[in-house]
Amino acid sequence: MSKHVIVGAGPVGVETARALVAGGHQVISVTRTGNRPAVSGVVPVAADASDPTRLTEITAGAHALYNCANPSHYGNWEKVWPPLWSSMLRTAEATGAVLVSASSLYAYGPVDAVMTEQLPDKATEKNGRIRAAMWAEAKQLHDQGRIRAVEVRASDYAGAGVGGNGHLTRNVPAALAGRPVWFMGDPDQPHSWTDVLDVGRALATVAEHPGAYGRVWLAPTNPPRSAREATADVLAEAGRPMVAMRRIPDVFVRAAGLVNADFRQFGVMSYIMKRPYVIDSSAITAAFGLAPTPWGEVCRRTAGLSTVAAD
Protein backbone atom coordinates (compact mmCIF):
# COMPACT_ATOMS: atom_id res chain seq x y z
CA MET A 1 0.00 0.00 0.00
CA SER A 2 1.33 3.42 -0.94
CA LYS A 3 0.25 6.98 -0.15
CA HIS A 4 -1.53 9.06 -2.78
CA VAL A 5 -2.57 12.73 -2.50
CA ILE A 6 -5.42 14.11 -4.62
CA VAL A 7 -5.98 17.86 -4.99
CA GLY A 8 -9.65 18.40 -5.75
CA ALA A 9 -12.79 16.47 -4.82
CA GLY A 10 -14.94 17.01 -7.90
CA PRO A 11 -16.17 14.08 -9.99
CA VAL A 12 -12.69 13.25 -11.33
CA GLY A 13 -11.11 13.51 -7.89
CA VAL A 14 -13.81 11.24 -6.47
CA GLU A 15 -13.37 8.60 -9.17
CA THR A 16 -9.59 8.73 -8.82
CA ALA A 17 -9.93 8.22 -5.09
CA ARG A 18 -12.32 5.33 -5.64
CA ALA A 19 -9.89 3.61 -8.02
CA LEU A 20 -6.96 4.06 -5.64
CA VAL A 21 -8.86 2.85 -2.58
CA ALA A 22 -9.97 -0.21 -4.54
CA GLY A 23 -6.29 -0.85 -5.23
CA GLY A 24 -5.56 -0.88 -1.50
CA HIS A 25 -3.80 2.49 -1.31
CA GLN A 26 -3.84 5.21 1.34
CA VAL A 27 -5.63 8.22 -0.16
CA ILE A 28 -5.64 11.82 1.06
CA SER A 29 -8.04 14.34 -0.49
CA VAL A 30 -6.99 17.99 -0.30
CA THR A 31 -9.60 20.73 -0.63
CA ARG A 32 -9.97 24.20 0.86
CA THR A 33 -12.94 23.07 2.95
CA GLY A 34 -11.72 19.60 3.87
CA ASN A 35 -14.98 18.07 2.65
CA ARG A 36 -14.79 14.30 2.50
CA PRO A 37 -15.33 12.76 -0.96
CA ALA A 38 -18.10 10.16 -1.05
CA VAL A 39 -15.54 7.33 -0.97
CA SER A 40 -15.02 5.23 2.13
CA GLY A 41 -11.46 5.19 3.43
CA VAL A 42 -10.34 8.55 2.03
CA VAL A 43 -8.75 10.97 4.52
CA PRO A 44 -9.90 14.58 3.94
CA VAL A 45 -7.50 17.46 4.62
CA ALA A 46 -8.42 21.15 4.58
CA ALA A 47 -5.62 23.13 2.95
CA ASP A 48 -4.88 25.70 0.26
CA ALA A 49 -3.05 23.68 -2.37
CA SER A 50 -1.57 26.92 -3.73
CA ASP A 51 0.64 26.99 -0.63
CA PRO A 52 3.67 24.86 -1.58
CA THR A 53 4.90 24.58 2.00
CA ARG A 54 1.62 23.13 3.21
CA LEU A 55 1.13 20.93 0.16
CA THR A 56 4.67 19.56 0.55
CA GLU A 57 3.95 18.70 4.20
CA ILE A 58 0.83 16.79 3.17
CA THR A 59 2.51 15.03 0.23
CA ALA A 60 5.71 13.96 2.03
CA GLY A 61 6.21 10.24 1.51
CA ALA A 62 3.54 9.96 -1.18
CA HIS A 63 3.99 7.95 -4.34
CA ALA A 64 1.86 10.35 -6.39
CA LEU A 65 0.28 13.80 -6.31
CA TYR A 66 -2.83 14.16 -8.49
CA ASN A 67 -4.01 17.42 -10.01
CA CYS A 68 -7.79 16.95 -10.10
CA ALA A 69 -8.55 20.60 -9.36
CA ASN A 70 -11.32 22.28 -11.30
CA PRO A 71 -11.54 26.09 -10.94
CA SER A 72 -15.09 27.14 -10.21
CA HIS A 73 -15.03 29.90 -12.83
CA TYR A 74 -14.18 29.43 -16.49
CA GLY A 75 -13.17 33.03 -17.06
CA ASN A 76 -10.42 33.57 -14.46
CA TRP A 77 -8.00 30.71 -15.08
CA GLU A 78 -5.14 33.17 -15.55
CA LYS A 79 -5.52 34.08 -11.86
CA VAL A 80 -6.22 30.66 -10.38
CA TRP A 81 -3.93 28.25 -12.21
CA PRO A 82 -0.45 29.87 -12.00
CA PRO A 83 -0.07 29.78 -8.19
CA LEU A 84 -1.79 26.41 -7.90
CA TRP A 85 0.27 24.79 -10.65
CA SER A 86 3.51 26.32 -9.35
CA SER A 87 2.76 24.83 -5.94
CA MET A 88 2.16 21.38 -7.41
CA LEU A 89 5.37 21.50 -9.44
CA ARG A 90 7.40 22.60 -6.42
CA THR A 91 5.79 19.92 -4.28
CA ALA A 92 6.51 17.20 -6.84
CA GLU A 93 10.15 18.27 -6.97
CA ALA A 94 10.52 18.50 -3.21
CA THR A 95 8.85 15.18 -2.40
CA GLY A 96 9.61 13.03 -5.42
CA ALA A 97 5.91 12.22 -5.83
CA VAL A 98 4.81 11.55 -9.40
CA LEU A 99 2.75 14.51 -10.63
CA VAL A 100 -0.34 13.05 -12.32
CA SER A 101 -2.55 15.66 -13.93
CA ALA A 102 -6.12 15.46 -15.21
CA SER A 103 -6.57 17.80 -18.14
CA SER A 104 -8.76 18.60 -21.12
CA LEU A 105 -8.30 18.73 -24.89
CA TYR A 106 -8.13 22.54 -24.87
CA ALA A 107 -4.37 22.61 -25.42
CA TYR A 108 -4.81 21.21 -28.93
CA GLY A 109 -6.99 24.11 -30.05
CA PRO A 110 -9.36 23.72 -33.03
CA VAL A 111 -8.40 20.73 -35.17
CA ASP A 112 -9.89 19.18 -38.28
CA ALA A 113 -8.93 15.58 -37.55
CA VAL A 114 -9.52 12.95 -34.90
CA MET A 115 -7.44 13.88 -31.87
CA THR A 116 -4.66 11.59 -30.64
CA GLU A 117 -1.71 12.01 -28.30
CA GLN A 118 0.53 12.81 -31.26
CA LEU A 119 -1.15 16.14 -31.97
CA PRO A 120 0.91 19.21 -31.05
CA ASP A 121 -0.46 21.74 -28.57
CA LYS A 122 -1.42 24.70 -30.76
CA ALA A 123 -4.18 26.47 -28.86
CA THR A 124 -4.33 30.23 -29.37
CA GLU A 125 -7.17 31.19 -27.00
CA LYS A 126 -6.54 31.91 -23.33
CA ASN A 127 -7.66 28.76 -21.55
CA GLY A 128 -6.11 26.49 -24.13
CA ARG A 129 -2.79 28.34 -23.91
CA ILE A 130 -2.88 28.04 -20.11
CA ARG A 131 -3.40 24.29 -20.27
CA ALA A 132 -0.71 23.88 -22.92
CA ALA A 133 1.77 25.94 -20.90
CA MET A 134 1.09 23.89 -17.77
CA TRP A 135 1.98 20.63 -19.48
CA ALA A 136 4.95 22.18 -21.28
CA GLU A 137 6.39 23.29 -17.93
CA ALA A 138 5.85 19.90 -16.32
CA LYS A 139 7.33 18.11 -19.34
CA GLN A 140 10.42 20.32 -19.27
CA LEU A 141 11.02 19.59 -15.60
CA HIS A 142 10.42 15.90 -16.24
CA ASP A 143 12.93 15.85 -19.10
CA GLN A 144 15.45 17.60 -16.85
CA GLY A 145 15.02 14.86 -14.27
CA ARG A 146 13.71 17.25 -11.63
CA ILE A 147 10.22 15.69 -11.40
CA ARG A 148 8.27 12.75 -12.76
CA ALA A 149 5.11 13.84 -14.57
CA VAL A 150 2.30 12.42 -16.67
CA GLU A 151 -0.95 13.92 -17.97
CA VAL A 152 -4.31 12.35 -18.85
CA ARG A 153 -6.62 14.34 -21.12
CA ALA A 154 -10.31 13.74 -21.58
CA SER A 155 -13.12 15.05 -23.72
CA ASP A 156 -16.36 16.49 -22.30
CA TYR A 157 -17.36 14.71 -19.13
CA ALA A 158 -20.23 12.27 -18.76
CA GLY A 159 -21.13 9.93 -15.93
CA ALA A 160 -22.09 10.31 -12.30
CA GLY A 161 -21.73 13.52 -10.36
CA VAL A 162 -20.80 15.79 -13.28
CA GLY A 163 -23.92 17.95 -13.15
CA GLY A 164 -23.51 21.45 -14.51
CA ASN A 165 -19.83 20.89 -15.37
CA GLY A 166 -20.64 19.09 -18.63
CA HIS A 167 -22.30 20.13 -21.88
CA LEU A 168 -24.30 16.89 -21.86
CA THR A 169 -24.93 16.46 -18.16
CA ARG A 170 -26.17 19.98 -17.42
CA ASN A 171 -29.24 19.27 -19.58
CA VAL A 172 -30.07 15.89 -18.10
CA PRO A 173 -32.33 17.00 -15.18
CA ALA A 174 -34.55 19.06 -17.48
CA ALA A 175 -34.64 16.32 -20.10
CA LEU A 176 -35.58 13.67 -17.53
CA ALA A 177 -38.41 15.97 -16.44
CA GLY A 178 -39.64 16.10 -20.04
CA ARG A 179 -38.70 19.72 -20.61
CA PRO A 180 -36.95 21.10 -23.73
CA VAL A 181 -33.21 21.58 -23.36
CA TRP A 182 -30.92 24.31 -24.66
CA PHE A 183 -27.55 23.54 -26.20
CA MET A 184 -24.63 25.86 -26.87
CA GLY A 185 -23.45 24.89 -30.36
CA ASP A 186 -24.54 22.38 -32.98
CA PRO A 187 -26.22 19.38 -31.32
CA ASP A 188 -25.74 17.22 -34.41
CA GLN A 189 -21.94 17.31 -34.66
CA PRO A 190 -20.09 14.09 -33.73
CA HIS A 191 -18.65 14.49 -30.25
CA SER A 192 -16.62 12.39 -27.80
CA TRP A 193 -17.86 12.03 -24.22
CA THR A 194 -15.53 10.67 -21.53
CA ASP A 195 -16.95 9.13 -18.37
CA VAL A 196 -15.28 10.59 -15.28
CA LEU A 197 -15.02 7.02 -14.01
CA ASP A 198 -12.64 6.27 -16.87
CA VAL A 199 -10.61 9.42 -16.20
CA GLY A 200 -10.10 8.31 -12.60
CA ARG A 201 -9.14 4.79 -13.68
CA ALA A 202 -6.65 6.20 -16.18
CA LEU A 203 -5.02 8.52 -13.63
CA ALA A 204 -4.64 5.74 -11.08
CA THR A 205 -3.21 3.41 -13.72
CA VAL A 206 -0.58 5.66 -15.29
CA ALA A 207 0.62 6.65 -11.81
CA GLU A 208 1.67 3.05 -11.23
CA HIS A 209 3.57 2.60 -14.52
CA PRO A 210 6.90 4.45 -14.87
CA GLY A 211 6.81 3.71 -18.58
CA ALA A 212 3.77 5.98 -18.83
CA TYR A 213 5.57 9.02 -17.44
CA GLY A 214 6.74 11.99 -19.48
CA ARG A 215 3.86 12.06 -21.93
CA VAL A 216 0.17 12.74 -22.47
CA TRP A 217 -2.46 10.00 -22.59
CA LEU A 218 -6.08 10.24 -23.70
CA ALA A 219 -8.54 8.67 -21.25
CA PRO A 220 -10.59 5.68 -22.45
CA THR A 221 -13.50 7.07 -24.45
CA ASN A 222 -16.31 5.51 -26.45
CA PRO A 223 -16.99 6.21 -30.15
CA PRO A 224 -18.52 9.65 -30.71
CA ARG A 225 -22.19 10.49 -30.37
CA SER A 226 -23.72 13.85 -31.18
CA ALA A 227 -25.23 15.80 -28.30
CA ARG A 228 -28.68 14.97 -29.63
CA GLU A 229 -27.87 11.26 -29.89
CA ALA A 230 -26.22 11.18 -26.47
CA THR A 231 -29.17 12.92 -24.84
CA ALA A 232 -31.58 10.48 -26.48
CA ASP A 233 -29.41 7.56 -25.31
CA VAL A 234 -29.42 8.80 -21.70
CA LEU A 235 -33.18 9.25 -21.78
CA ALA A 236 -33.69 5.82 -23.33
CA GLU A 237 -31.75 4.17 -20.52
CA ALA A 238 -34.08 5.95 -18.08
CA GLY A 239 -37.15 4.84 -20.05
CA ARG A 240 -37.96 8.39 -21.12
CA PRO A 241 -38.70 9.79 -24.60
CA MET A 242 -36.46 12.29 -26.33
CA VAL A 243 -37.25 15.97 -25.71
CA ALA A 244 -36.92 19.03 -27.91
CA MET A 245 -33.36 20.34 -28.18
CA ARG A 246 -32.85 23.99 -29.03
CA ARG A 247 -29.71 25.95 -29.83
CA ILE A 248 -28.68 28.86 -27.64
CA PRO A 249 -28.30 31.81 -30.04
CA ASP A 250 -24.74 33.03 -30.51
CA VAL A 251 -25.94 36.59 -30.01
CA PHE A 252 -27.05 35.67 -26.48
CA VAL A 253 -23.64 34.21 -25.64
CA ARG A 254 -21.88 37.31 -27.02
CA ALA A 255 -24.17 39.65 -25.09
CA ALA A 256 -23.70 37.71 -21.86
CA GLY A 257 -19.94 37.78 -22.43
CA LEU A 258 -19.95 41.57 -22.27
CA VAL A 259 -20.70 41.41 -18.56
CA ASN A 260 -19.63 37.89 -17.54
CA ALA A 261 -16.10 36.52 -17.97
CA ASP A 262 -17.29 32.91 -17.92
CA PHE A 263 -19.70 33.48 -20.81
CA ARG A 264 -17.02 35.44 -22.64
CA GLN A 265 -14.75 32.41 -22.48
CA PHE A 266 -17.61 30.08 -23.43
CA GLY A 267 -18.01 32.10 -26.60
CA VAL A 268 -14.30 31.90 -27.40
CA MET A 269 -14.33 28.13 -26.87
CA SER A 270 -17.60 27.53 -28.72
CA TYR A 271 -15.75 25.80 -31.57
CA ILE A 272 -15.76 22.70 -29.34
CA MET A 273 -19.50 22.32 -29.81
CA LYS A 274 -19.83 23.67 -33.36
CA ARG A 275 -17.61 21.19 -35.22
CA PRO A 276 -16.64 17.53 -34.91
CA TYR A 277 -14.78 17.00 -31.62
CA VAL A 278 -13.58 13.42 -31.62
CA ILE A 279 -10.72 11.54 -29.97
CA ASP A 280 -9.05 8.17 -30.48
CA SER A 281 -8.08 6.73 -27.10
CA SER A 282 -6.78 3.41 -28.38
CA ALA A 283 -3.23 4.10 -27.15
CA ILE A 284 -4.11 3.74 -23.47
CA THR A 285 -6.15 0.62 -24.22
CA ALA A 286 -3.25 -0.97 -26.06
CA ALA A 287 -0.72 -0.02 -23.38
CA PHE A 288 -2.65 -0.86 -20.22
CA GLY A 289 -5.80 -2.72 -21.27
CA LEU A 290 -8.05 0.16 -20.21
CA ALA A 291 -11.23 0.12 -22.28
CA PRO A 292 -13.99 2.70 -21.85
CA THR A 293 -16.98 1.88 -19.69
CA PRO A 294 -19.69 0.48 -22.01
CA TRP A 295 -21.76 3.30 -23.45
CA GLY A 296 -25.04 2.01 -22.04
CA GLU A 297 -23.56 2.07 -18.54
CA VAL A 298 -22.16 5.57 -19.14
CA CYS A 299 -25.69 6.68 -20.03
CA ARG A 300 -27.15 5.01 -16.93
CA ARG A 301 -24.56 6.74 -14.75
CA THR A 302 -25.30 10.06 -16.47
CA ALA A 303 -29.01 9.57 -15.81
CA GLY A 304 -28.31 8.91 -12.14
CA LEU A 305 -29.33 5.27 -12.37
CA SER A 306 -25.91 3.88 -11.50
CA THR A 307 -22.79 5.24 -9.82
CA VAL A 308 -20.34 2.41 -10.38
CA ALA A 309 -19.58 0.74 -13.69
CA ALA A 310 -20.22 -2.96 -14.11
CA ASP A 311 -17.19 -5.26 -14.09
CATH number at residue 65: 3.40.50.720
Other C-beta atoms lying within 10 Å of the C-beta of residue 198: 28
Domain assignment present for residue 181? The answer is: no
Total residue length of the chain: 311
The rounded distance, in Å, linking the Cα atoms of 14 and 16 is: 5
Q: Which residues contact 155 (CB under 8 A, 6 or more apart)?
A: 104, 105, 191, 192, 193, 194, 221, 277, 279
Question: What does the mean pLDDT of the chain come to?
Answer: 93
pLDDT at 156: 95
**What is the structure's pLDDT at 97?**
98
Q: Is residue 263 part of a domain?
A: no
- Give the pLDDT score at 75: 74
Q: pTM, whole model, 2 decimals?
A: 0.94
Residue 11 included in any domain: yes
Does some domain include residue 250?
A: no
Q: What pLDDT does 82 receive?
A: 96
Whether residue 117 is contained in a domain is answered as yes
Number of domains in the chain: 1
261: in domain: no
> In this predicted structure, which of 159-163, 193-197, 245-249 has the lowest mean pLDDT?
245-249
The answer to whether position 308 is within a domain reads no
pLDDT of residue 1: 83
The domain of 40 spans 3-158+193-222+278-293
Q: Please say if the pLDDT value at position 310 is more than 60.
A: no
- Range from 58-67, 71-80, 155-164, 271-280 that averages highest in pLDDT: 58-67
Residue 303 lies in a domain: no
Helix (H, G, I), strand (E, B) or coil at 112: coil
Supply the pLDDT for residue 267. 65
